[in-house]
Structure 1
């Protein structure tokens, strides 16, 4: 059974308890009850029910499961140092998901009355939990589609509310002045002044609404895998900057005098390639503590995995193999062949058109992107206009002027139609020939001039240091296209004018994570093999030395 110092050591590393003294941490640890899970996939609580406990995972793991229309979906897995159950405890709400624990998991529980007593007696703890509750509530409301499986949002915030108040000073002052002018127009019975003032009042209100939406669209996010900075300007700009945990070098915060008074500041996340600045973030020291915690946790998880794999490798080298259970492996299910739909002429034509004009296509693990179709329209709009004009003029000319002018002029128009068609095809090929690819091993940027040279640039996925995307301008936001920027060492890649840049960035990040994991596993496997061979040789040498020593002591034996 873990004693109080073990619990205190765990609490010290958790951002929820950052800033508490050793005495306060000890009081929290002593108030905890312990629950050991005796069977696999044991239910901790069920969606729709309420409990009187706040849970912290001391060892093991739990799965968070959501049931919608009788279908169960796994939202995430939580591990040592994670926590859950706060919604039911603090807001007396039913749980919005079910939790199941793996066998051997040790949970630390705080009962409601003791938990509320601690919150009242320790102000810093209350503030930390308030920040956590706000983050999780906002995360459930927004439900970002780019969050991956087993990724959990722990900190989610807009810029500090002080920034909203500051931005609203202008609109509020304008509204007050214009309301006074409305009163004057009533006193002087001036219809013109009333109309002008009313119009300006509507503009001032829209200005205030725009300021609020602009404030509410910017988010700072910390998950167990990355730090994210989302910046949006209404109808003008949309950007998401990310820093994976394994690229973060250091993190710190800075605040001016007003920031210290109102508890806001700038969180500076330094990575291998530069820095990310989360300006006017509320409670910046809390955000820094959270990032530091997950940096340490990621290192601990990797270390534990490496140690376990190393032990297995040494056992294998020494011939210590785990006993077989005696149960045969289950037979693989027979592959189910999907029913093929009967091809039709209309379906074949539609498929051919999609094949020509696609902007994203995945085949054999490789994703190929073309520029957005709005770029194609922009590139061929002139050719299309000229071609439609010539096609419209040609029969008109031939009908009315066949006997009045030489037929050669009609031939010239026909020739211009052919030239314009070639011009249009050139513009289409110029659009289609520019490709961006993400393979399981690398990213590729292909620039090809129709009937000309080809420029191909590529880089291994494991060398990618950072990615971010931008959607600029009204049309970029309206038609959902923009630029995905990828930094690879000192070289920059740019996927220009691609459709749905957030999804393109997500494709790249997912493949980078898979590639880096495979490379790390391969490197570690080679290192483990080498070390295990040395240790096995050392073990065999010791055995030989002991054997020789025994023979020396007993020369007549054997």
Structure 2
């Protein structure tokens, strides 16, 4: 699909049934969790209203059934008929509100840097957030569901977003005016790429103009620095968890270390803690009431044995929890799985540049209540079975956002390094050119005020030049002399 680069108007999106982010975003405002400081939301899309309307027959059926029951019970039990009428209003109303909220909570966010899919299921207590950077989008295709007459009637389709890996692909069903959304994604992707190229060209042009003694038309700071897309300052990121069971810590090198949720630690140490409690209770009873059975020396000895077993068990359970780590560095992610007694020692190191997609998922009532979920990391060119998973972490959406920010920062660092290399190459060329012209200058430096005018005819640079070819004579045949 070849789409000219343009900024899509909000009116066009509104006409297509899309919700647009109106007005300029206030500094510090977040339209969704995980939005970056330098990221601007362009559009927020929701599924076609038919995704909500196709299930309205359920509350309608309940209302009709309760109405029929109220009519039948009116002649024999008037109070029962009143209750049925009240339920006819309450139950369908609550169900309709739930269906509406279920539809409204699912959204696709298109920003100037990426595509974010937010999916929530209220009854199932599920929450999933996945994203695709705009520069990773390779294909956007649409398909009208076969055998669905409502798809043609209401003009909705399924949208497929594909990247270099299988696990990161997104399938969005019941999308209103899918071809328009397809064009918007392609247009924004092209704008993202052209903006990066244009920023590099502006910086290089400014360098050349400065070297030649002219006033630069492009600012040297046009290229965004890596700090703009970086994570929050380390001083603003607090450690999470009780002092003895930290689930997030900052290392002196700037790495962020995550452990599993504190509830997992409690589950690990629950039984050994009970054993230690039983040991302490038995020892206290043996010392306080020596006349009871199993008291005295026998009771104290049994308490010591239980205490040793419980203490060793507690140590192994605690060690097991502390050595499952997710470490996010400046250029890599390290996932460590270790088990006591050398049962497992697995360390995976993933380069951030090889990450294709990062998704966070929460499933279940207690997981939603405790804000506990899993992180899924898919790699470029890898299949879904090769997805890296780190489960039972606290606030998985914030971890996903941290990985995403560091990926963006690393891409900007590489972009900046590429521009610096091009700068040095251009400076070397200019220095060599000025040296050929007889100007004094150290290697890698240029003299201001010099131009790229070719040498005048007859100079040493042109005296040994061969005559131009007339493209008629065969090679090595002398030119005929006149006269």
Shared fold, TM over 0.5? yes
Q: 1:472 to 1:551 in 2, by over 3 A?
A: closer
- How far off its partner does 1:392 sit? 3.3
Q: How many residues align?
A: 410
From 469, 476, 485, the counterpart of 2:367: 476
From 511, 514, 518, the counterpart of 2:413: 518
**Structure 1 residue 13 corresponds to structure 2 residue 5:** yes
Contact 1:359 1:370 in 2 (8 A): yes
From 320, 327, 335, the counterpart of 1:437: 327
Contact 1:221 1:229 in 2 (8 A): yes
**Structure 1 residue 457 corresponds to structure 2 residue 348:** yes
**Take 1:497 and 1:191, find their aligned partners in 2: how far apart are those partners?**
51
Contact 1:139 1:156 in 2 (8 A): no
The residue aligned with 1:267 is: 159
Alignment gaps of 5+ in structure 2:
217-238, 440-453, 464-483
**Structure 1 residue 421 corresponds to structure 2 residue 311:** yes
- Within-5 A mapping of 1:114-513: 127-130=12-15, 134-136=19-21, 143-189=31-77, 205-234=93-122, 236-256=125-145, 257-274=149-166, 275-314=169-208, 319-320=211-212, 354-363=242-251, 364-402=253-291, 404-405=293-294, 407-450=297-340, 452=342, 454-489=345-380, 490=382, 491-513=386-408
The answer to which of 132-141 and 445-454 deviates more is 132-141
Contact 1:314 1:536 in 2 (8 A): no
Q: 1:402 to 1:322 in 2, by over 3 A?
A: farther
Q: 1:154 to 1:552 in 2, by over 3 A?
A: closer
Q: 1:298 to 1:352 in 2, by over 3 A?
A: closer
Contact 1:482 1:499 in 2 (8 A): yes
User: Which structure has more RCO (C-alpha within 8 Å, separation ≥ 6)?
Assistant: 2
The residue aligned with 2:448 is: none
Q: 1:226 to 1:477 in 2, by over 3 A?
A: same
- How far off its partner does 1:551 sit? 5.0
**Take 2:53 and 2:207, find their aligned partners in 1: how far apart are those partners?**
60
Contact 1:442 1:459 in 2 (8 A): yes
- Within-5 A mapping of 1:71-110: none
- SS of 2:276's equivalent? helix
**Take 1:300 and 1:552, find their aligned partners in 2: how far apart are those partners?**
40
The answer to which of 504-513 and 542-551 deviates more is 542-551
**Take 2:351 and 2:411, find their aligned partners in 1: how far apart are those partners?**
10
**Take 1:303 and 1:295, find their aligned partners in 2: how far apart are those partners?**
13
- How far off its partner does 1:477 sit? 0.7
**Take 1:428 and 1:500, find their aligned partners in 2: how far apart are those partners?**
21
Q: Give the strand-richer structure, 1 or 2.
A: 1
- How far off its partner does 1:469 sit? 0.7
Contact 1:15 1:289 in 2 (8 A): no
Q: CA-atom RMSD, angstroms?
A: 3.7
Q: 1:433 to 1:237 in 2, by over 3 A?
A: same
**Take 1:139 and 1:238, find their aligned partners in 2: how far apart are those partners?**
28
- SS of 1:445's equivalent? strand
- SS of 1:357's equivalent? coil
**Take 2:416 and 2:297, find their aligned partners in 1: how far apart are those partners?**
76
Q: 1:380 to 1:322 in 2, by over 3 A?
A: farther
- SS of 1:365's equivalent? coil
Deviation string 1:243-274 (CA, Å, 9 cap, x unpaired) is 10010112132224422321222222111213
**Structure 1 residue 529 corresponds to structure 2 residue 424:** yes
Q: Give the helix-richer structure, 1 or 2.
A: 1
**Take 2:324 and 2:39, find their aligned partners in 1: how far apart are those partners?**
34
- SS of 1:220's equivalent? strand
Contact 1:310 1:532 in 2 (8 A): no
Deviation string 1:168-221 (CA, Å, 9 cap, x unpaired) is 211221122112212322222176788789779865554444322222211111
